[in-house]
Every structure is written in structure tokens, then in C-alpha cells.
Amino acid sequence: MHQNLIDIESQLFFQTYKRLPVEIDYAKGMRIFDKDGNSYLDFLGGIAVNALGHSHPGIIEAIDHQLRRYMHVSNYFYQDTQLEFVEKLNKLSGFERVFLSNSGTEANEGAIKLVRRWGIDRGKTDIIAFSGGFHGRTYGVLSLMDKPHYKDKMGPYLDNMKIIKYNDIDDLNNTVNDKTVAVILEFIQGEGGISMANEKWVDAINILKQKFGFLVIADEIQSGVGRTGKFFSFENYNINPDIVTLAKGLGGGLPLGCILAHEDLANVWEKGMHGTTFGGNPVACAAGSVVLKELKNGLMEHVIQAGKYLHERLEYILNKFPGKVLEVRGLGLIKGLLLNFDAGKLVAELLKRKIIANAASGSVLRLVPPLVVTNQDIDEFISGLSDALIAIE
């Protein structure tokens, strides 16, 4: 990678991203190829986006077909590509109503508006979120997040938002009341370091929901779309959320997100109350239909098998490096390795071995590979990981 490019980037862009020193040429399947001819094994998958891997032939064919018909006409029109996608989504999700967005943060902002609209006549206004959560970068969701680095000196934020401790039943009991309109949570916190919701805590949410009648918003943007081997990560728990938000893997690499809700709740919005110019772009929906078709036709079963194998191999690593690796976290193909040092160091060592992964929450190595990852890819990853850990003093 040329120093020149790093310099040019620093002169042209807002310096908001820590980029890896790799100049991409193209990407295919589980691999990314750089301009120097190197091939990298991708265990980041565009941050849990490239569900079917890179350049999936089915996705390319579907978007090519749609591109040649039209790229954008706006949501003023009826579009068969959107309808086909949403029908598939309804079947897989069990939710009757869908609002299509461009991104995750936009889906969550919509969910906040929807619950507030639902709560206004019921005297309910307060939204509760949890420590370590990540819901996006816009003001509504930032008001529901506690990490200072994302928020400092950019306020003020929204009122009637409370952030309490994840997995803490007492905090929940002490905070929820008649004013609570909704809680929003990730059942597996992605950016928060692959922390999983505790079953007893989820039961406590159910009990309080019965008592106070608030709504549950499941942010499945990183953990959903088949990543745990079920369509939603909350299906690994005993709970029925009222609203679910999705994005990332949903468009298979193109920007596509959604809000899912049942009919009664969706009906609190009347025409014109919410909208977007680009949301539900037909090219993205064409790609999304391919993702959903693959998930329905065996990909989730594959995720369960591959996730189990990855877990076993990570436990081998845990046993091999007891001082350096402290814990294996996660379900299916959203996995974390808790380290006793800064995960950024391991990311750099892995990169030297042509493996791409990233750090979440400082000391956790996050693994969110494409859902099509094979046992052979996992073996290659584990061998590189082992070498990288040996290299770290």
C-alpha cells in the first residue's frame, strides 16, 4: 500500500475512520484482493454486511437485471421488486408490516418515532436503553447510547431517554414505570463486544412488559438476518419484540434497512408521517431478495454448523493461550474473543498474515464473517490466529 494514498486520504476526507492499510482492488467470496496482488481472508464481511460473501453471482445477476430496468423512481410508485422482497421478509420474520430504510440508524430513528407516536395518547414517553449498546450515529439513537466518545461535546440530546445497565435486573425494576413507552436492546451487542443478553434478564423484561405495557424494540441490525442461525437473534430467547430493526446483511452489500412491526402498531403512522427518498431502493431490494432466498434455502442451517465449528476452534485457541485469551463469546457467526490486551494489536498481527477481522469495545476481537464461510476457511483463520497470538508478547 502506497504512503501516497494515505497522505491523499488525510487531505481529502474528514478524519473519522481508522482505515486498514489495504488498497482494495476487488473482492470475491470470502476474499478481498488488494492492488499489490495480495489476497486476504475476510472475517469482517464489511462489518456483518456481506452475508453471501463478495460478488455473489446470484446478487450480481439480480442487481444487473434491476439496473437495466430502472434504478430509482421513488416511493410514489408501486414496484414489483420491492413487493417481492417484502413478501419474502414477511414470511421469514412473521411480521406483517415493513418500512424500508437505507441504513440501520435510520431504521432505529423511525422506531423511536413510531413508539413515541404510539405512546403519546397513552401518557407514555420514556425510552430505556442499555449500557454498551450501539444503535447508530444520529441524535435519537445517540441519546440512547452511553459511550462518551460517540457523544461528547455534540449535545444536547433528546429528553426522556434513560440508559441503564445491560443485564441488570435491579436497574430494570427500578427504572421501568407507567411512563415507559419502550425499551430498545441488542440481544447480542455487536459494537459493545459481543456481549449476550442473560435469559433471566430477558424474562424480567417480559414480566415488566406485562405489568406496564411498554413496547420492546429489538435492534437486530448486526445480529439479525440469519447471523445466529435463526433469522433473528431474539429467537434464541423467550421473547416476542413488538418492533424489530434490521440493516447490514439485509441488502447483501447494498444499503438497505427496515422497521418491522405488527399491523396495529404500524397503523399509528398515517400517510406522510414518515418517509425517505432512497429507502427501499429497488436495486438494493433485488439484492436483498437473493439474501432472503438463500437464508430460506439452507443458509441458516449452514450458519449453525459453521458457527458450532468456529466456536470449537476458538475454544481450542482459548485453551492454547490461557494468559492472552480470556473468553469466547457469541452465537452462530457473530463471535468475540475477549483478550487481556488491546484487540487492535491482534488485528494488526492478523493483517500481517492476510486475515481481516476487527476490534469491538477495546479488548474484544470481533468475528462476523460472511455467512457462507466454510470449515476450511475457519481452519485457515484459526491457523493465522494462532500464529498472530504467538507473535504477541
> What residues between 346 and 385 interact with ligand PLP by CB under 6 A?
none
112 lies in the site for ligand PLP, by CB under 6 A:
no
105 lies in the site for ligand PLP, by CB under 6 A:
yes
* Rounded Cα gap, residues 179 and 182, in angstroms: 9
221 lies in the site for ligand PLP, by CB under 6 A:
yes
CB of 8 to ligand PLP, least distance (A): 25
Q: Which is nearer to ligand PLP, 115 or 382 (CB)?
A: 115
104 lies in the site for ligand PLP, by CB under 6 A:
yes
134 lies in the site for ligand PLP, by CB under 6 A:
yes
CB of 219 to ligand PLP, least distance (A): 5
Q: Which is nearer to ligand PLP, 191 or 377 (CB)?
A: 191
Q: Which is nearer to ligand PLP, 127 or 221 (CB)?
A: 221
Chosen residue from 191, 242, 294, 349 binding ligand PLP by CB under 6 A: 191
Residue nearest ligand PLP (C-beta atom) = 104
Q: Of 18-26, 186-194, 232-240, 315-323, which segment contacts ligand PLP by CB under 6 A? A: 186-194
Nine cell digits for residue 303? 450458519
Q: Count CB-CB contacts under 10 A for residue 92.
A: 17
180 lies in the site for ligand PLP, by CB under 6 A:
no
Chosen residue from 30, 216, 247, 303 binding ligand PLP by CB under 6 A: 247
* Rounded Cα gap, residues 378 and 42, in angstroms: 11
- Cβ atoms of 89 and 98 within 8 Å: the answer is yes
Helices (H) and strands (E) in the chain, counts: 14, 17
Among 95, 177, 109, smallest CA distance to 138 is for: 109
Q: Which is nearer to ligand PLP, 79 or 108 (CB)?
A: 108
- Cβ atoms of 108 and 245 within 8 Å: the answer is yes
Residue type, 376: Q
Chosen residue from 66, 82, 103, 167 binding ligand PLP by CB under 6 A: 103
146 lies in the site for ligand PLP, by CB under 6 A:
no
> What residues between 284 and 303 interact with ligand PLP by CB under 6 A?
none
Distances (CA, A) of 290 to 57, 124, 240, 294, 372: 10, 40, 26, 6, 13
Nine cell digits for residue 102? 437505507
Q: Count CB-CB contacts under 10 A for residue 70.
A: 12
Residue type, 155: G
CA 66 to chain centre: 26
Q: Which residues bind ligand PLP (CB under 6 A)?
A: 103-105, 108, 134-136, 186, 190-191, 219, 221-222, 247
